[in-house]
Structure 1
Amino acid sequence: MGISGLGPGFLGFGHWIRVLCPELGSIGSLIVFFGFVTFFAYKLRKQRHQEMHEGDEEFGELPGMPTRFTFQQLQEATDQFRHKLGEGGFGSVFVGQYGEERIAVKRLDRAGQGKREFLAEVQIIGSIHHIHLVRLIGFCAEKSHRLLVYEYMPKGSLDRWIYYSHGNDAPFLDWQTRRKVISHIAKGLCYLHEECMKRIAHLDVKPQNILLDENFNAKISDFGLSKLIDRDKSQVITRMRGTPGYLAPEWLTSQITEKADVYSFGVVVMEIISGRKNLDTSRSEESIHLITLLEEKVKSDELEDLIDKYSSDMQVHKQEVLEMMRLAMWCLQIDSKRRPQMSDVIKVLEGHMNAESKIDHNFVATSKTMFGIAENTGSSDPPQASHLSGPR
């Protein structure tokens, strides 16, 4: 650290030494001054070193921890982070090989996911196991390095397979595959919400966080924004987090339950059905926001217009697709209490019950009164997150 880095206030300290201790003279004052500079630089280095090791100790105390890797091990496993699978808001993901197993290593940016989010991801996904959740193999918390090691999912993330674009060479998914993916997402969320010791709200459900294996079995990934909710509490108060376009209306209040994931699930189902992004600025102004378009189409009895036009198989199964849309609309209720639990969603998907028919066909909150809070927001735009995560 240079002297200039200490600021003008500290540099003025040398002047006060000369005023208060004139007998020291110029050379003596300089010696004292540089002594103080050295002392403060040492204290700063010691503090940073201590914070770094306190963080490491914190990871060491976590119960039921997955495998802890050294940074060198992961460098070697990824061939010096040579082959990048993708890049997102918190860092980059690289493919690697560890022993007989192929792995995906997420290397977190220093300015991205913080220690709190990293701890959350390691603790939450390291202690739960489900066929439709991506398996966390291990992690690295060494000095400033923060890395997560996952099972490798060869088909990548769902967004690659459902969004039509001229540059996307992935084949269109048939209806049965899309239906299977929807069912797997529902089962993964049901486990988090209803089958764990503590309810877990994922809070960032979107196609980029749904990964696919070689047989298009879907698994939920990326638990960096997740929150634990005690069973004896109805909700948790938290700062806004997630991705614009998938955020439930109640984010305007910051009083969140796992039902925020149910709303996001409804958005993802509509994207899978329509083959387009929820927010697509390349479209005409009236078609930019898929869920607003859904409101208009259901009220004018034109839901068929939203079925993926590029897939003939989707058109063949039109009636099944329309039933799936009705399930999505149940999940998209502005009042979170009127949304189904994910266990009910699974019952509908498996044919054991019907989706609720008496639902409100307004899916985008335009005021706080729409979900039980007085005071008009004065905007029909979807809420913007103060803590955003990009695609990853």
Structure 2
Amino acid sequence: MIFLDAAATTPVRREVLEAMWPYLTGEFGNPSSHHSLGESAAAALAAARSSVAAALGCRPGEVVFTSGGTEADNLAVKGIALARQAMDPSLNRVVISAVEHPAVEESARYLAKFHGFAVDVVPVDGNGLVTPGAFAAALQPGTAVASVMYANNEVGTVQPVAALADLARRRGIPFHTDAVQAAGWLPLDVRALGVDALSISGHKLGAPKGCGALYIRSRTSLEPLVHGGGQERGRRSGTSNVAGAVGLAAALALARARQDEEAGRVSALRDAFTAAVLAGVPGAELTGHPVHRLPSVASFCFPGTSGESVLLELERQGVVCSSGSACAAGSDEPSAVLTAMGIPAGVAQTAVRFSFDASVSAEDLDAAALAVAAAVAGVKGLANRR
């Protein structure tokens, strides 16, 4: 099997499992307990927090461990908006882009439905890019929080986050970015990016599912979504997942250690794969920005086919990929990301996304490109015979 669906999830790295193992076995204490087992767990949790903070360029106290990227996005968007609205009821608007992950989009829709917020959606261009001009136009008086993802999970377009965050900061608006796909590939220094909040998820980096983190800048007001024992400095209650925090820290450190080298290598492989697919499949269309894109994502539309049929044929040939966001699996609707980019709904339903982790090889992608050409030709041939 050639696994090309790393944007959905990645296998757990052995080094990460080894780092976690003690806290899944003998070191099983609750870090809130005041005895030796609890103190050992608390020390591991503190070390993991410091490690994640080092990767993000922030203070340990600005890191909130969560169950993953979805929770981190919810906590950032809802938590900041509700806290600011409580202080000033006139702050009742949320700005998001038209290509956000459902975790951000649905958080904004929740605020509109249950708390009276208006949701201002920033359009994107044909490459999926949010322009500073379009973003600035959306920042109206009364905006409580703005959220634009760092890199898109479907087409890989990388947004000018630092420029957008600067525009928000000049207006006194907290800025959040969903960096779930960017982590491991792009710089995450929150000071350089200028963001007030940033979300990451462990299972995109070689850690298990169920662990993530939110960076939240000091003195940024945040209403907790989960109440209880006051863990995470009162920002996210619940018994701490020590093993998950340790795993996230280990995965992030491993990715960071070779980030520049791997990003350059995988970018070159992605470009060669893209060229081979475009040469081998007449009419194929690359989606996303041609330059400002993740090293790890190549997404295409294959007009005249069904994306799902191409996926099934590719899996039969041993290539595993996806038709877009894993969070929309099973939906018959065209991708909202692609339609927001101006791609007709019928063409959007032909989309196939290939996404790689750092273990991908040139041999894998050469074989995959040949399989793509054969799969598309086979699907078109079957459609013509019908």
User: When the two structures are superposed, what TM-score results if normalisation uses the length of structure 1?
Assistant: 0.24
